[in-house]
Amino acid sequence: MPSDLTSEVPSLAEAARQIRSKRLSPVELTRSCLDRIAALDGALHCFIRLDEKGAMASARAAEQEIARGGYRGPLHGIPTGFKDLFNRRGMVTTAHSRSRIDAVAFADADVVTRLDAAGAIDLGKLAMHELALGGPSFDLPWPPVRNPWDVSRFTHGSSSGTAAAIAAGFILAGPGTDTAGSIRGPAAYCGIAGLKPTFGLVSVAGTVPLSPTLDHAGPMGWTVEDCAILLSALIDQGGSEPSAHLSSLQDGVKGLRIGVVRHFYETDHPVSAETREAIEAALDVYRALGAYVEEIRLAPLADYAAAAGVIMVCEAYQAHLGTLRENPQLFGRIFRNRISLGALYHSDDLSRAYAARARLKAAFADQTAGFDAIVTAVVPSTAPLIDEVPMWPTVEKPSLLSPFNITEGPALAVCCGFSKNGMPLSMQVAGRRFDDALILRIGHAYERAVGWRGKRPPARSTAKALAGNEDAIGVTGDR
Amino acid sequence: MSETGTKLTAEEIKQSARETGIELTGEWLDDLVDGSAFVIWARRHLREMSEAASQAEMSTCRPT
């Protein structure tokens, strides 16, 4: 295994170009991903269930179909995987919880159906935070996912397996879910791109729910372009024309107005100096590309955090109340505790939270009028050590992620550099509802102008961690 | 239920949970005492937001 994975792992977009022109074999590509998983996932724990045989059979079928002239599009022959929250017919959907150890799905999730139809190669089910809320947890049947940039560090959650697997080159892209930041947080800590699309744009049918009025599904990939390709497949309506998410991707940012929400990350939830400096440098890139950058004020982060926190917990509590009453021991400590707060809220609290959401959505539309997008922080710093993650959200540090679950518009995490200790830094580009194509375009313009996508996590350090913990970690073919 | 402190008491939490059919004990109960700080804060904050919104709405009206 080389010390740097860059030379081996293409982006989804690059792999698709090579597969289409028959310069890359889906079988070879899938084999290389499986080899990487065999070498490194014992340290990272991305996969709950790896289907090597099924993946190779699908890759061979894709190769034959493409050879016969049946190329389906840019996901054909591309290795992917599914957060174990998405149903696959006939398979257990654990949602990384002992409480669902026997929950066999009787139908595919819409997301699974769409990626199957696009010809993607399913490598298996990916680890996550328990039921998309509790983690990192050390008391579940599967260990928490480790960060491929440094295995002692947190991945964020809940789409942790998907983000780490993309960064490590186990898969090229995959769908995640985002109720309060579960696509963007892991994308940020793992140094990839992740888009929480407009609420409802990607179907969540067949996905284990957490908070139905806040749950989103969306794409995660090594690059913003990869996210655009995946999003197009996830919402494909069957037409022959490329969707707007791809057709406008190369249009640049010249003349666009970008609002920078500094109060989010300077006063409401102060971030690290490195994060602040990386965002300022990214804004300079946008200026150099011809965009206008101006400061903009939104409602305080605390307003969004209060509304999102109450709605999410109350809805999740209702979803899991039966198990909480009858078999609470089936939950890990963190998930059990976090949803139990639902017992402490009153109906008045939830009513006020719903009303606050409506006001915040309306205010956001007014405050961002005249702007094409906003830029702010996505996480306060680089990934912390995995054993230093607090159980409870703190009042003093409201989430930088939840505002856009409240406003329901697109929000994209984009890698914007690296810290002195080599961990990824990230920024958030967000917009109004259904401006997903515009947000992807703005993220892509930045990514093309800088060189961050040339650097992959160092495989050698992960392999070293594995060698030092072989007995404790264990590697099996079916996880 | 207490609205003045920064956390709920163990007894308040136990009673609330019991009303929804959950019996809290031991570590679970202790954990929730810490977690209740967010509940108290969120409740207050949402109430203040609601009151501010009501006042703002009233200021857009005048007696006829």
pLDDT of residue A394: 75
Percentage, residues of chain A above pLDDT 90: 89
Of A341, A356, A394, the CB nearest to B46: A356
The strand ranges marked E within A179-296 are 193-196, 216-221, 257-260, 292-295
Interface contact A309-B38, CB threshold 8 A: yes
Active site residue A53: no
pLDDT of residue A474: 34
Q: What is the pLDDT of residues A247-295, one digit of tens each?
A: 899 999 999 999 999 999 999 999 999 999 999 999 999 999 999 999 9
Percentage, residues of chain A above pLDDT 70: 95
Q: Among all chains, which residue has been given the structure tokens 């109060």?
A: A263
Interface contact B34-A303, CB threshold 8 A: no
Does pTM top 0.90 for this prediction? yes
Average pLDDT over chain A, rounded to whole? Answer: 93
Q: What is the pLDDT of residues A137-192, one digit of tens each?
A: 999 999 999 999 999 999 999 999 999 999 999 999 999 999 999 999 999 999 99
pLDDT of residue A465: 76
Of A336, A344, A356, the CB nearest to B49: A356
Q: What is the pLDDT of residues B13-47, one digit of tens each?
A: 999 999 999 999 999 999 999 999 999 999 999 99
Q: Is pLDDT of A472 > 80?
A: no
Active site residue A32: no
Minimal-distance CA residue of chain B relative to A352: B46
Interface contact B36-A321, CB threshold 8 A: no
Q: Of A417 and A8, which is predicted with more confidence?
A: A417
Interface residue of B7, B39, B51 to substitute, partner A, most A CBs within 10 Å: B39
Q: Is pLDDT of A447 > 50?
A: yes
The strand ranges marked E within chain B are none
Active site residue A232: no
Structure tokens belonging to residue A444 = 């892509």
Residue in A11, A25, A83, A243 annotated catalytic: A83
Q: What is the pLDDT of residues A33-82, one digit of tens each?
A: 999 999 999 999 999 999 999 999 999 999 999 999 999 999 999 999 99
Q: What ipTM does the predicted assembly reach?
A: 0.91
- Within 8 A of A353 by CB-CB distance, chain B residues are 42, 46
Q: What is the pLDDT of residues A306-364, one digit of tens each?
A: 999 999 999 999 999 999 999 999 999 999 999 999 999 999 999 999 999 999 999 99
Of B17, B19, B46, the CB nearest to A307: B46
Residue B62 to chain A, least CA–CA distance (Å): 22
| Contact call for residues A336 and A99 (beta carbons, < 8 A) | no
pLDDT of residue A246: 83
DSSP, collapsed to helix, strand or coil, labels residue A51 as: coil
| Contact call for residues A3 and A458 (beta carbons, < 8 A) | yes
Residue B60 to chain A, least CA–CA distance (Å): 16
Q: What is the mean pLDDT of residues A10-14?
A: 97
User: For residue B15, with 0-12 CB atoms within 10 Å meaning exposed, 13-18 middle and 19 or more buried, which class applies?
Assistant: middle
